[in-house]
């Protein structure tokens, strides 16, 4: 539900960030501002690791960036020439400080810090094999699995980039990585390119910046250079950037379409397409396919606002600010329990009664998962005096779980699997309901000619193997009770 989707089960991605400078400077502050710009991708925990001439100093904790990184913490992180950072909302493993990233590994050949966005589909198999070889796990997410696989390869190769290239043959699924060794910063993207990753350069000091989204480059004064290609490894060291393309063009590109619909910030540009414009196009497509006689268009903050602009332009119906969002409350999916989530709907969103009273209103939102949040939003607008309430959704219906980093975990919990569009409209209390058509997904990002989209959550066409039901149950058990799950899986 725009940025309220957590009520219903869509959890954020993670955000990764890295900086390589030619000399010692305040890389921690640069990383802080970069993570601040990526805060929308994860609000559960965050962390920064600074490299000071091979010495790693790190701090990570549960909470938002500006709460975790106090002036004292920033002072303790100190100066350096490299840093990696991460903001997290977990899609596998439980929450808490134990799963905060970046992961730091110290081994016989040196140290490594790793930040990861995505989800592996073979994490359970890799973890079991590593445990049988003596590896001891402290986290319940697949990021530690990735770090161990790379470390194992590092013990048998001559460089960290060789180790990563070898590890990528074993890693299946979605991963955008930023890795730091004592002398190098490395960025890598999985062969399908599920998740975004780009880099830029700051002209003021020549520092190279790696980030999940281009908005983080803007935040630290860096000029966008390019997106990493699927399967590409880029190494940043004293000689500048160097591309390793051994894994490129090995598999079809399957970039997550939901990045354009919901996850990415509107001011980010991904593979040549502005996210804001993609959402405006989605709104225009909705207006063409699902027109409605109405007096006013209102978007649900935040990602519904852009689609509302497109719907208004195409339909000619005026667009207005219809909801006031409380910006001083954490995203509602942080709070467990449906009752707590629902209580926060009214706290976080409040309709402007003078805008909707006695009007035929069209609400634009990005998705419906279980339907409970949509129901409460529709009711809020009716309570504010709307004469009619029509709902338009800038994505197709969710029908399948996602295994690549979006926490859509069960077909059973998806309302579209059990009800028709007309039935869903009645359940949420809307006078009518319309979804974006599957055929219109390709219209969202017309410049993305090199890459097809992953839309498996809508159509079930997965680009990789998917975990078996047993593995799914294992991951669920880990989330609910890590110690018990580990014991039962080994047995």
Cα dist. 440→266, 287, 444, 445, 457 in Å?
A: 19, 12, 7, 10, 15
**pTM score of the predicted model:** 0.88
Burial state string for 111-130 with b = 16 or more CB within 10 A and e = fewer than 16: bbbbbbbbbbbbbbebbebb
pLDDT above 90 as % of the chain: 76
Of 434 and 108, the structure prediction assigns the larger pLDDT to 434
Q: Mean pLDDT across the chain, nearest whole number?
A: 88
Judged against a pLDDT cut of 50, whether residue 38 lies above it is answered with yes
Judged against a pLDDT cut of 70, whether residue 281 lies above it is answered with yes
CB atoms inside a 10 Å sphere around CB 55: 11
In what helix (H) or strand (E) does residue 111 lie, and over which residues does it extend?
Answer: strand 110-117
pLDDT average, residue stretch 427-445: 95
Largest CA distance in the chain: 71
Residue ranges and CATH numbers for the domains of the chain are 12-251 (3.60.20.10), 274-443 (3.40.50.2020)
439 exposed, middle or buried (CB, 10 Å; 0-12, 13-18, 19+)? exposed
481 exposed, middle or buried (CB, 10 Å; 0-12, 13-18, 19+)? middle
pLDDT average, residue stretch 418-436: 97
Residue 390 near residue 430, CB atoms below 8 Å: yes
pLDDT, tens digit, 9 for 90 and up, residues 192-237: 999 999 999 999 999 999 999 999 999 999 999 999 999 999 999 9
Bridge partners for 305 per DSSP? none
Residue 94: what pLDDT? 56
Judged against a pLDDT cut of 60, whether residue 473 lies above it is answered with no
**Phi and psi, residue 438, nearest 5°:** -55, -35
Please report which confidence band the pLDDT of residue 136 belongs to, taking 50, 70 and 90 as the band edges: confident
Identify the weakest region by mean pLDDT among 342-346, 404-408, 463-467. 342-346
**Phi and psi, residue 99, nearest 5°:** -100, 5
Residue 1 near residue 377, CB atoms below 8 Å: yes
pLDDT average, residue stretch 48-63: 96
ω into 108 cis (within 30 of 0) = no
Q: Who's near 293: CB < 8 A, 6+ residues apart?
A: 360
Ranges of beta strands (E only) in 260-311 are 269-270, 273-274, 296-299
Residue 485: what pLDDT? 31
CB atoms inside a 10 Å sphere around CB 141: 28
Identify the weakest region by mean pLDDT among 9-23, 102-116, 262-276, 405-419. 9-23
Please report which confidence band the pLDDT of residue 27 belongs to, taking 50, 70 and 90 as the band edges: very high
Residue 140: what pLDDT? 76
Please report which confidence band the pLDDT of residue 449 belongs to, taking 50, 70 and 90 as the band edges: low
Bridge partners for 399 per DSSP? none
Using alpha carbons only, what angle is made at residue 443 by residues 12 and 452, rounded to the nearest 5 degrees? 65
Phi-psi sector, 264: left (phi>0), alpha (psi -120 to 50), beta: beta
Q: Which are the catalytic amino acids?
A: 14
Pairing state between β 360-365 and 349-351: unpaired
Residue 470: what pLDDT? 40
Residue 327: what pLDDT? 74
């Amino acid at each position: 539900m725009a940025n309220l989707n957590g009520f219903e089960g869509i959890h954020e991605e993670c955000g990764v960030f890295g900086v390589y400078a030619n000399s010692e400077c305040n890389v921690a502050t640069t990383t802080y501002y970069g993570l601040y710009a990526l805060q929308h991708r994860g609000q559960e925990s965050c962390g920064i690791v600074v490299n000071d001439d091979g010495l790693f100093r790190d701090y990570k904790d549960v909470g938002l960036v500006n709460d975790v990184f106090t002036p004292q913490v920033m002072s303790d992180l100190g100066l350096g020439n490299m840093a990696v950072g991460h903001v997290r909302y977990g899609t596998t493993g439980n929450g808490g400080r134990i799963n905060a990233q970046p992961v730091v590994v110290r081994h016989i050949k040196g140290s490594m810090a790793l930040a990861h966005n995505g989800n592996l589909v073979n994490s359970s198999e890799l973890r079991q094999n590593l445990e049988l070889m003596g590896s001891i796990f402290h986290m319940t997410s697949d990021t530690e699995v990735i770090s161990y696989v790379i470390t194992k390869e590092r013990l048998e190769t001559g460089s960290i980039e060789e180790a990563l290239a070898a590890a990528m043959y074993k890693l299946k699924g979605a991963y955008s990585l930023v890795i730091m060794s004592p002398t190098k910063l490395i960025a890598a993207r999985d062969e399908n390119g599920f998740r975004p990753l780009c880099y830029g350069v700051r002209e003021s000091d020549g520092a190279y910046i790696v980030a999940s989204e281009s908005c983080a480059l803007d935040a630290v004064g860096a000029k966008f250079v390019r997106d990493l290609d699927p399967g590409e490894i880029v190494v940043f060291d004293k000689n500048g950037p160097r591309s390793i393309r051994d894994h490129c063009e090995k598999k079809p590109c399957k970039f997550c379409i939901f990045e354009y619909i919901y996850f990415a910030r509107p001011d980010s540009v991904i593979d040549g397409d502005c996210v804001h414009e993609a959402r405006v196009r989605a709104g225009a497509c909705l207006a063409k396919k699902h027109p409605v006689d109405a007096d006013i268009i209102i978007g649900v903050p935040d990602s519904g606002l852009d689609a509302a602009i497109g719907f208004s332009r195409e339909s000619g119906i005026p667009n207005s600010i219809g909801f006031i969002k409380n910006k001083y409350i954490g995203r509602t999916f942080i709070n467990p329990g449906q009752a707590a989530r629902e209580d926060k709907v009214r706290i976080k969103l409040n309709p402007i009664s003078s805008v909707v009273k006695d009007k035929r209103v069209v609400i634009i939102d990005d998705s419906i998962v279980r339907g409970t949040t949509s129901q409460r939003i529709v009711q809020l607008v009716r309570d504010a005096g709307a004469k009619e309430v029509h709902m338009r959704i800038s994505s197709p219906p969710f029908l399948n779980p996602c295994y690549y980093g979006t926490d859509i975990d069960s077909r059973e919990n998806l309302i579209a699997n059990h009800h028709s569009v007309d039935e869903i409209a009645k359940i949420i209390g809307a006078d009518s309901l319309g979804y974006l058509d599957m055929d219109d997904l390709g219209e969202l990002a017309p410049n993305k000619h090199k890459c097809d989209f992953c839309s498996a959550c809508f159509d079930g066409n997965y680009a990789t193997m998917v975990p078996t039901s047993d593995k799914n149950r294992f991951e669920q058990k880990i989330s609910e009770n890590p110690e018990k799950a580990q014991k039962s899986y080994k047995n």
